[in-house]
Amino acid sequence: MKISGTTKVYGVIGCPVEHTMSPMMHNFYSEQAGIDMAYTAFPVEEGRVGDAVRGAYALHIGGLNVTVPHKQAVMEHLQDIDKDAEIIGAVNTLVRTEQGFKGYNTDADGLWRAMQGAGISVQGRTCILIGAGGAAKAAAYVLAREGARKVYVLNRSVEKAQKLARELNEKLELEILFPLSLSAWDKIEEEHCLAVQSTSVGMYPNMGEAAIEAEAFYQKLDLAFDVIYTPLETKFMKLARAAGAKVSNGLDMLIYQGVVAYELWNPGVTISGETIDEVRTMMIAGLGGKAG
């Protein structure tokens, strides 16, 4: 990669942000496509996101990814917000426009593309979403948007599950999200469900944990998707696999949220399946011992 006076600069803002793999992905796409852009990581402390957005605009930064802890706080500093991101209530990608940055949420479409790649169907299915944090909101939106029959939202603190379900039902004018506490999974009567695990439980280095440990829970599942990718096979996935479900990890969600962002920044550019396969191999190597 050759950096010159015409190179357009992109990056990710977050705190901490030093260990991000996004520069590896985005710089590889630019190299492959011969696009004159460079992507790096910008540490931005909590409370400074407004300064960062204004500064980035003044510096003619082409676009930014936004990660923890700024995904919600960034929203009030934007010129415009895409409809999906508005409904989810979080932004992870900024695209430069004439008037300012426009915010998008590519986690949702990243998850959707990863699910499609794994052959996961949502239409008409009963879904079980574990967690009610930031990642869960994007997942709940995708499940509702793609035609789930019902989405049980299970969370340790049931109030957060209630809030997520109530708000999304209202925004989408649906009545398909139902909150439950994590321990009330046995109230779910359906079988052949799709479960999306969106808590941090089981993530490196706490690999021996799963938000739900009961083997009987996993008998209800045909499909199990974990948003975690360190390790590449979580305890949740092991339990689901042992019960006969088809399992997927969150690595492709991470990759595709980047692909969707890259395509938003470079209209008309599509990243080939071959390039994505190469990136997946690079990412797994980059994860090292955390991959498990």
* Active-site annotation, residues: 71
d(CA 210, CA 197) in angstroms, rounded, equals 9
* Contact by Cβ (8 Å): 74, 49: yes
Min dist CB 67 to ligand ATR, Å, is: 9
CA distances from 283 to 48, 210, 261, 279 (A): 30, 24, 17, 6
The residue number with the shortest CB distance to ligand ATR is: 133
Min dist CB 135 to ligand ATR, Å, is: 4
Report the relative pairing of strands 246-248 and 177-181 from DSSP bridges. Answer: unpaired
Nearer to ligand ATR by Cβ, of 166 and 192: the residue is 166
Nearer to ligand ATR by Cβ, of 104 and 265: the residue is 104
Min dist CB 14 to ligand ATR, Å, is: 12
Coil, strand, or helix at residue 240?
Answer: helix
Min dist CB 90 to ligand ATR, Å, is: 8
Q: What number of CA atoms fall less than 13 Å from residue 68's CA on the CB side?
A: 8
* Contact by Cβ (8 Å): 153, 164: yes
Nearer to ligand ATR by Cβ, of 50 and 69: the residue is 69
* Contact by Cβ (8 Å): 226, 160: no
Q: What angle do CA 68, 258, 252 make, to 5 degrees?
A: 95
User: Which residue, 253, 251, 272, is CA-closest to 263?
Assistant: 272
Min dist CB 179 to ligand ATR, Å, is: 12
Length of the chain: 292
Min dist CB 204 to ligand ATR, Å, is: 14
Nearer to ligand ATR by Cβ, of 156 and 241: the residue is 156
Point out which residues bind ligand ATR (CB under 6 A). Answer: 131-136, 155-157, 160, 198-201, 211
Nearer to ligand ATR by Cβ, of 140 and 144: the residue is 140
Give every CB contact of residue 46 below 8 A, 6+ residues apart in sequence.
Answer: 15, 69, 70, 73
* Contact by Cβ (8 Å): 105, 77: no
Tokens encoding 76: 């009030």
User: Which residue, 102, 70, 87, 73, is CA-closest to 141?
Assistant: 87
Nearer to ligand ATR by Cβ, of 136 and 193: the residue is 136
